[in-house]
Amino acid sequence: MSDQTKKVFVDIAIQKALLESGSVSLQRVSNRLFEIYHSHLSDCYDNPEYLREVLKDVFGESNTVIVDAIKTRLQSVSYHKQVEVFLSKLGE
């Protein structure tokens, strides 16, 4: 599986997890990522710490619900080293 494909899997997993919390959640996280890091959700594959910090900022202690949803969606590709690294850094 190419890096680009893994990046797309991660991006979709993030979006779906956020949409489960409501479209407002997706918009708020996207906006904060851009405000703070000048990044988009698709950039989080290479910079999971951006997403981790924004989720904590937007959701507080409830961010773990979103992180768990992302992890569940990526279980089938979590054996790929870069996805494993992404998930590890996201959960710190």
Structure tokens at 71: 């992890």
Q: What is the pLDDT along the chain (92 residues), one digit of tens a residue?
A: 788 888 898 999 999 999 998 889 999 999 999 999 999 999 999 999 999 999 999 999 989 999 999 999 999 888 888 989 999 998 87
- Total Cβ atoms within 10 A of residue 62: 12
In this predicted structure, what is the pLDDT of residue 15?
Answer: 94
Q: Where are the domains of the chain?
A: 3-90
- Residues 28 and 58: beta-carbon distance below 8 Å: yes
Report domain 3-90's class: mainly alpha
Q: Output the pTM of the full model.
A: 0.90
- Residues 68 and 90: beta-carbon distance below 8 Å: no
